């Protein structure tokens, strides 16, 4: 007989919420045993590859596929003309626009898909691509959205009405033939009046450059049409497998029950794998045409040049305050460069995502935001790279504007933030741009952060450094980057959040096995976040079975319940809530079974870690393991056999994680080289499910923030050529460039989430980008700098220093 | 990123290599570590119908330090350079420079011969070889010859090597005096924004000789004779360093790329050279 365990020991044995459970995924990942799309090999499988446009804007005069078709091993070469009879030469985008699957008479960006070659092996496909002859006639190229809005050149003839009329777009009236939409939030006149009457107004154009999520694994799929039973199986790198199934069904006309979408292991997504790409459509068509499976996997250049980019927001801001520094108003006009097609992945009612979180952590009474989307000759996309919809843009904007306002007021930027934070007792807080912040305690977090880094000491050191620099004793400046960000994640309430009409709830289905282990399936899909680890922890605590006895499965639409997938830090806020709620249904039934077994009334038993005990008589209990067995194998009057539950969770509100970050950076003014001496990150993500996973997420998000702030960009020349199409030029930091991060936390649970969790995967990126950038800007504040654009790579920092006259 | 088809040859000796080179001329290329050539083939920028792997060719690698002279076989890897004690004594600048090339994975495969024969202005070894006044040994169907590193580079990817020749070794005199290899790059694994190799000798507080070469600042490495001359005979004070930097700026011809505009490249070149001279002088 085992010795009776204490309550604490029983809790520890579950490995539930709050413990640093090791990632169950890592055993296979660290041994190279993951199963990614490119690992999938089906019998008779063919390989697809694209002919892509070398031009950013050109008419496609002719396509000759004869030489390619003549190559031994080539099975088919698809062009728009082949897809047109099926109506598949264009496809709908997530933003309500449409996008060419294969060039239909013209191309709009360099790398655009022109023809799709299908061959017996990957090498033959690549050889055949070279043999397809395409005749182009170059057209004028527009790479600047401001110029595009003035230009006579029409990029999208397909959107023009009769006689040059401009029909409305998916988001209302259009102002110009290269204009996509205007989105307005807040009070325009009132804000203007506040600005007019303010003591102080700071104004700046804040450009957030174009970059790319660049997951380790590129996008790809294997489409397999079984002509005998009419079923299509589509393996792919999908962050939203169920949505993909619905979209494929709507586009192809294949009934949804005949489509099985499977997301196997995914090597990072960061928003890049939310959308639908021409490669998926072409592979499906090719499999339907040939009757055998067809694989398509992008290479790195294709991924960087053609699949969804992020940002490219020109944010013109004005912020006003009293002399004492109380912020009175915020105005923002954004010109958003969407490329050749509007393929942003945002909830339908939010064409600029949640950019209206741009009042940030501050109590700003009056605000106005307008966003104009514009077509240019660049790749489509505009996804949320490791952030909720356009939230990094918003956080970067407000955190830069506050710093600039501090300069204008000649105030310390930390103090300016402190006097403007939304106070703890103001939550739930209604923002001027329409959000209801669920909970927060910004002052506590801020004070803790400043104390941890000895903020006053850092400022004193910085002042001394400036003196030494001026005296010629050093050529290094010191920057102190501050950020207090508020995110908005967990999209979202179905009443206002849908993508193409698909409501943004999520789901969990649990099946308890008779011997007391379980499987839970969710509508989300891990791309490295460790769902199999953390969701089992939520359940362990909710249902009292050990996390190690719970399998978590996602990504197969034939088995998992419907859900909208993983992006925008929505897995924990939405599917995590569904998991807890489904767990509670299990527990409710278990309670009835326990009461029956213990021969007491339902109300006389209570849940205690891993068992139900008779109230007041803890020695009388039934463990969840025992209850599971009884659920299946004992006839219990009035109760169906089995122990299963499903929950579809429609969140009542978003969650609002926040954090306080400080970066200390030394900058070599002569070379532009930056050295991050210290990075402190305090995150408040509400209830903490697994501190170790949180820390890993914070490290990853900060590293991608460092990349974006210090060098990572998708740059084009005036001809629309991508200048950063390989990892030689597209900056991915290595361990060498990454500093040692100090992580910290406060805990302010979400009041409306079943377990109080808010989501953390994207916070460090949202807060990290402005923090690194603020450090660079701050280093030059003493020499008169107001704002310099990212990315802060060596030559741009040198240029800033040069323009300030720091090179003598 | 899928290369075109090619024939793979793996001869055991130099005769075997030469016979394929002679037979196929332009269509044949030797493969050393592959870390420059294979990416070019995958990008289909290099069209190689016959690839001759040098991996099994006997006698092409190894570092020999014999009295005052150093000979490094072409197939010696960059990692071998870093771990060689003999070289650390005879030419510590090689060690300092090799540590700044690419990353460990690349250095395990990338060879000295490949690095100097490649002709990419971004490679670090060519400038280094010019600084050391090395000679390259080339073996072709007509026998063996040597060429000075300072005479070898003609333009980007264009060298004095004949298509049918194999570079078998680099040789130079063991270095004396102070040295420094200073490189500015965007991250680990990146080619230089600007790099400077400096060797100088000092007697009684005066610089008696100096050799200076710059990397990735023209379409070939630049050995700046004038920059070296500006240091010789001075006490390497600020004025001398400025003069050397000024002379170097007269010899380089950088182009704009993602690392920055020309003006920045020239600025970075000045800074790295100034720092390299100061460090070399402190070690002399
Ligand atoms: C990510 C990355 C970063 C890098 N960073 C740097 C860097 O910072 N600095 C730097 O200097 N290099 C860098 N390199 C290049 C690397 O050092 C290469 O290995 C080197 O340039 C070529 O050596 P290899 O042995 O790989 O030659 P290969 O790639 O095999 O050959 C290169 C060329 O030289 C020819 N060749 C090779 N050997 C001989 C020979 N013996 N005789 C005649 N011709 C020959 C080949 O035919 C080919 O044309 C980098 C490479 C990568 C992939």
Q: What is the pLDDT of residue A293?
A: 98
pLDDT of A267 over the 70 cut: yes
**Residue tagged 């702030």 (tokens):** A709
Q: What is the pLDDT of residue A164?
A: 84
Q: What is the pLDDT of residues A359-385, one digit of tens each?
A: 999 999 999 999 999 999 999 999 999
Is the CA virtual torsion A288, A290, A293, A299 positive or negative? Answer: negative
Of the listed ranges A69-73, A146-150, A733-737, A781-785, the one predicted with least confidence = A733-737
Q: Average pLDDT, stretch B25-35? A: 96
Please state which architecture CATH assigns to domain A309-491+654-803: 2-Layer Sandwich (3.30)
Question: How do residues A631-644 score in pLDDT, each as one tens digit?
Answer: 999 999 999 999 99
- CATH for A37-141+218-266+273-305 is 3.90.1170.50
Per residue in A30-71, pLDDT (tens digit) is: 999 999 999 999 999 999 999 999 999 999 999 999 999 999
- Residue B220 pLDDT > 60: yes
Mean pLDDT of A438-457: 98
**Do the Cβ atoms of B260 and A798 come within 8 Å?**
yes
The closest residue, in CA terms, to atom 36 on ligand 1 is: B114
Three-class HEC string of A473-537? CCCEEEEEEEEEEECCECCCCCCCCEECCEECCEEEEEEECCCCCEEEEECCCCCCCCHHHHHHH
Q: Among partner residues B187, B264, B272, which is closest to A731 by beta-carbon distance?
A: B187
pLDDT in tens, A297-311: 999 999 999 999 999
- DSSP assignment of A13-69, as one string? HHT-TTS-PPPTTHHHHTTT----GGG---TT-EEEEEEE-SSSSEEEEEEE-HHHH
Question: Is the pTM higher than 0.95?
Answer: yes
Residue located nearest, by CA, to atom 14 of ligand 1: B102
What is the reported pLDDT for A553?
Answer: 97
Q: pLDDT at residue A2 above 80?
A: no
Q: How confident is the model at residue A808 (pLDDT cuts 50, 70, 90)?
A: confident
Distance CA A559, CA A263 (A): 12
For residue B32, give the ligand 1 atom closest to its CA.
30
Among partner residues B190, B261, B271, which is closest to A795 by beta-carbon distance? B261
User: Does residue A3 have a pLDDT over 80?
Assistant: no
How far apart are the CA of B117 and the centre of ligand 1, in A?
8
Pair of tokens at residue A287: 């499999």
C-alpha B201 – ligand 1 centre gap (Å): 31
The domains of chain A are located at: 2-34+506-649, 37-141+218-266+273-305, 309-491+654-803
CA-based nearest distance A413→chain B, Å: 30
- The CA angle A662-A668-A669, to the nearest 5 degrees, is 110
Please give the Cα distance from B151 to A387 (Å, whole number). 54
- Mind listing the pLDDT tens digit for each residue in A128-182? 999 999 999 999 999 999 999 999 999 999 999 998 899 999 999 999 999 999 9
Per-chain mean pLDDT for chain A: 96
Domains of chain B, by residue range, sit at 7-53, 63-173, 178-283
Sheet containing A605-608, strands listed edge to edge, beginning at the edge strand earlier in sequence: A605-608, A611-614, A617-623
> Is the pLDDT at A774 greater than 70, yes or no?
yes
Q: What is the mean pLDDT of residues A500-512?
A: 94
Residue A721 CB-density burial (10 A; 0-12 exposed, 13-18 middle, 19+ buried): middle
pLDDT of A1 higher than 50: no
Whether B58 and chain A come into contact, CB under 8 Å, resolves to no
Cβ-Cβ contacts under 8 Å, B271 against chain A:
670-671
Burial of A599-623, coded b for 16+ CB within 10 Å and e otherwise, reads ebeeebbebbbbbbbbeeeeeebbb
Domain spanning A2-34+506-649: CATH 3.30.56.10: no
* Lookup: tokens for A408: 């204008």
Rg (alpha carbons) of chain B, rounded to whole number? 19
- Residue A770 class from Cβ within 10 Å (0-12 exposed, 13-18 middle, 19+ buried)? buried
Alpha-carbon distance A123 to nearest alpha carbon in chain B (angstroms): 6
Q: Quick check: helix, strand or coil at residue A319?
A: strand
pLDDT number for residue A778: 98
Q: Work out the percent of chain A whose per-residue pLDDT is above 70.
A: 100
Residues B11-20 have a mean pLDDT of: 97
Task: For residues A525-530, give the mean pLDDT.
Answer: 94
- Residue B67 is predicted with a pLDDT of 86
Pairing of strands A381-383, A309-321: parallel
Q: Which helix (H) or strand (E) holds A210?
A: strand A200-211
pLDDT at residue number A569: 87
Which residues of chain B neighbour A798 with C-beta distances below 8 Å?
260, 264, 267-268
Reported as a single tens digit per residue, the pLDDT across A672-694 is: 999 999 999 999 999 999 999 99
Confidence of residue A4 (pLDDT cuts 50, 70, 90): confident
Name the residue facing B5 among A123, A299, A724 (closest C-beta): A123
Report the CATH number of the B63-173 domain.
3.30.465.10
Residues A248-261 have a mean pLDDT of 94
Closest residue by Cα to atom 12, ligand 1, is B123
Please write the tens of the pLDDT for every residue from B262-271.
999 999 999 9
This complex has an ipTM of 0.95
Phi, psi of A181 (to 5 degrees): -165, 160
For the CA of B31, the closest atom of ligand 1 is 30
Mean pLDDT confidence for A114-122: 97
In CATH, B178-283 is 3.30.390.50: yes
Confidence of residue A206 (pLDDT cuts 50, 70, 90): very high
* DSSP 8-class letter at B111: B
The Cα–Cα gap between A394 and A27 comes to: 38
Helices A442-452, A413-420: crossing angle, 10 deg rounding: 160
Q: Give catalytic residue positions of A.
A: 239, 386-387, 762
| Mean pLDDT (whole number) for A482-504 | 93
Per residue in B46-91, pLDDT (tens digit) is 999 999 999 999 999 999 999 899 999 999 999 999 999 999 999 9
Q: What is the mean pLDDT of residues A610-618?
A: 97
Closest-lying ligand 1 atom to the alpha carbon of residue B185: 8
Q: Do domains A2-34+506-649 and A309-491+654-803 have the same CATH topology?
A: yes
B7-53: CATH architecture: 2-Layer Sandwich (3.30)
CA–CA dist A268, A278 (Å, integer): 20
Contacts of A363 (CB under 8 A, 6+ apart): A327, A420, A421, A422, A423, A426, A429
Query: Which residues line ligand 1 at a C-beta cut-off of 6 Å?
Result: B 29-37, 54, 74, 101-102, 106, 109-111, 113-115, 117-118, 123-125, 166-167, 189, 191
């Amino acid at each position: 007989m085992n010795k009776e365990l204490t309550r604490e020991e029983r809790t520890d044995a579950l490995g539930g919420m709050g413990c640093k459970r090791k990632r169950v995924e890592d055993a296979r990942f660290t041994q190279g045993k993951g199963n990614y799309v490119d690992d999938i090999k089906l019998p008779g499988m063919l390989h697809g590859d694209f002919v892509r446009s070398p031009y950013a804007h050109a008419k496609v005069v002719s396509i000759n596929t004869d030489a390619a078709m003549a190559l031994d091993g080539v099975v088919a070469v698809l062009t728009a003309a082949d897809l047109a009879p099926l109506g598949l030469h264009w496809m709908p985008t997530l933003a309500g626009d449409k996008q060419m699957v294969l060039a239909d008479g013209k191309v709009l960006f360099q790398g655009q898909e022109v023809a799709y070659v299908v061959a017996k092996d990957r090498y033959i496909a690549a050889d055949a691509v070279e043999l397809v002859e395409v005749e182009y006639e170059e057209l004028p190229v527009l790479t600047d959205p401001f110029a595009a809005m003035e230009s006579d050149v029409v990029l999208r003839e397909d959107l023009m009405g009769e006689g040059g009329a401009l029909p409305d777009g998916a988001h209302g009236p259009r102002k110009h033939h290269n204009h996509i939409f205007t989105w307005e939030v807040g009070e325009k006149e009132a804000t203007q009046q506040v600005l007019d009457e303010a003591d102080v107004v700071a104004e700046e154009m804040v450009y957030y450059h174009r970059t790319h999520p660049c997951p380790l694994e590129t996008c790809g799929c294997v489409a397999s049409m079984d002509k005998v039973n009419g079923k299509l199986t589509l393996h792919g790198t999908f962050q939203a497998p169920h949505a993909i199934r619905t979209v494929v069904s709507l586009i192809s006309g294949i009934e949804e029950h005949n489509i099985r979408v499977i997301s196997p292991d995914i090597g990072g997504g960061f928003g890049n794998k939310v959308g639908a790409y021409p490669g998926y459509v072409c592979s499906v068509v090719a499999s339907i045409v040939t009757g055998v499976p067809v694989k398509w996997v992008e290479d790195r250049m294709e991924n960087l040049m053609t699949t969804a980019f992020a940002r490219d927001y020109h944010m013109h801001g004005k912020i006003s305050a009293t002399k004492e520094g109380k912020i009175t108003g915020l105005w923002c006009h954004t010109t958003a460069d969407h490329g050749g097609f509007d393929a942003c992945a945002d909830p339908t009612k939010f064409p600029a995502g949640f950019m209206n979180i741009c009042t940030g952590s501050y109590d700003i009474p009056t605000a106005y935001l307008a966003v104009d989307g514009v077509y240019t000759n660049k790749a489509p996309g505009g996804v949320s790279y490791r952030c909720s919809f356009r939230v990094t843009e918003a956080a970067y904007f407000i955190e830069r504007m506050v710093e600039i306002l501090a300069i204008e007021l000649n105030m310390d930027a930390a103090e300016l933030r402190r006097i403007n934070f939304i106070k703890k007792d103001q939550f739930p807080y209604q923002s001027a741009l329409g959000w209801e912040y669920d909970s927060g305690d910004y002052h506590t977090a801020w004070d803790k952060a400043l104390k941890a880094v000895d903020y006053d000491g850092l400022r004193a050191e910085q002042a001394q450094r400036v003196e030494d620099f001026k005296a010629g004793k050093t050529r290094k400046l010191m920057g102190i980057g501050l950020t207090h960000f508020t995110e908005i994640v967990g999209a979202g309430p179905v009443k206002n959040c849908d993508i193409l009409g698909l409501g943004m709830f999520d789901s969990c289905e649990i099946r308890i096995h008779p011997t007391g282990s379980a499987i839970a399936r969710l509508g989300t899909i891990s791309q490295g976040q460790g769902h199999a680890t953390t969701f089992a922890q939520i359940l362990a605590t909710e249902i009292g079975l050990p996390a190690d006895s719970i399998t978590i499965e996602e990504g197969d639409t034939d088995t998992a319940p419907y859900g909208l997938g993983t992006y925008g830090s929505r897995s924990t806020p939405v599917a995590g809530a569904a998991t807890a709620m489904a767990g509670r249904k299990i527990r409710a039934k278990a309670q009835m079974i326990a009461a029956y077994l213990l021969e007491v009334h339902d109300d006389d038993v209570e849940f205690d870690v891993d068992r139900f005990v008779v109230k007041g008589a803890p020695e009388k209990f039934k463990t969840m393991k025992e209850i599971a067995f009884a659920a299946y194998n004992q006839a219990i009057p009035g109760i169906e056999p089995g122990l299963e539950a499903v929950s579809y969770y429609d969140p009542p509100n978003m969650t609002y994680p926040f954090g306080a970050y400080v970066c200390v950076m030394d900058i070599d003014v002569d070379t532009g080289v930056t050295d991050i001496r210290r990075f402190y990150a305090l995150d408040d993500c509400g209830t903490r499910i697994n501190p170790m996973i949180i820390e890993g997420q914070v490290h990853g998000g900060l590293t991608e923030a460092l990349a974006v702030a210090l060098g990572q960009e998708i740059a084009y020349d005036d001809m629309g050529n991508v200048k950063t199409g390989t990892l030689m030029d597209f900056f991915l930091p290595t361990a060498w460039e990454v500093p040692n991060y100090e992580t910290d936390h406060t805990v302010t649970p979400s009041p409306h989430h079943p377990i109080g969790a808010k989501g953390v995967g994207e916070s460090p990126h949202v807060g990290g980008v402005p923090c690194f950038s603020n450090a660079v800007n701050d280093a030059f504040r003493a020499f008169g700098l107001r704002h310099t654009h990212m990315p802060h790579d060596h030559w741009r920092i040198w240029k800033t220093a040069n323009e300030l006259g720091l090179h003598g | 990123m899928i290369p075109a088809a090619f024939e793979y040859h793996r001869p055991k000796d130099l005769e075997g290599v030469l016979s394929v080179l002679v037979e196929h001329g332009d269509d044949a290329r030797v493969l050393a570590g592959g870390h420059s050539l294979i990416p070019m083939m995958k990008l289909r920028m290099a069209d190689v119908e016959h690839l001759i792997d040098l991996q099994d060719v006997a006698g092409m690698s190894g570092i020999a330090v014999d009295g005052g002279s150093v000979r490094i076989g072409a197939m010696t890897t960059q990692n071998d350079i870093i771990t060689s004690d003999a070289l650390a004594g005879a030419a510590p600048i090689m060690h300092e420079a090799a540590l700044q090339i690419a990353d460990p994975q690349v250095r395990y495969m990338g060879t000295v011969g490949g690095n100097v024969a490649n002709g990419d202005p971004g490679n670090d070894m060519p400038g280094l070889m010019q600084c050391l006044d090395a000679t390259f040994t080339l073996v072709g169907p007509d026998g063996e010859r040597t060429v000075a590193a300072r005479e070898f580079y003609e333009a980007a990817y264009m060298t004095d090597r004949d298509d049918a020749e194999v570079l078998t070794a680099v040789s130079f005199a063991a270095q004396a005096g102070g040295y420094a290899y200073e490189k500015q790059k965007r991250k680990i694994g990146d080619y230089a924004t600007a790099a400077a190799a400096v060797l100088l000798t000092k007697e009684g507080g005066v610089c008696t000789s100096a050799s200076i070469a710059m990397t990735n600042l023209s379409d070939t490495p630049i050995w700046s004779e004038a920059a070296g001359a500006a240091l010789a005979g001075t006490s390497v004070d600020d004025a001398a360093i400025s003069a050397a930097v000024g002379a170097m700026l007269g010899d380089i011809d950088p182009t704009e790329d993602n690392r920055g505009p020309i003006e920045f490249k020239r600025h970075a070149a000045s800074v790295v050279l100034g720092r390299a001279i100061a460090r070399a002088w402190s070690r002399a």
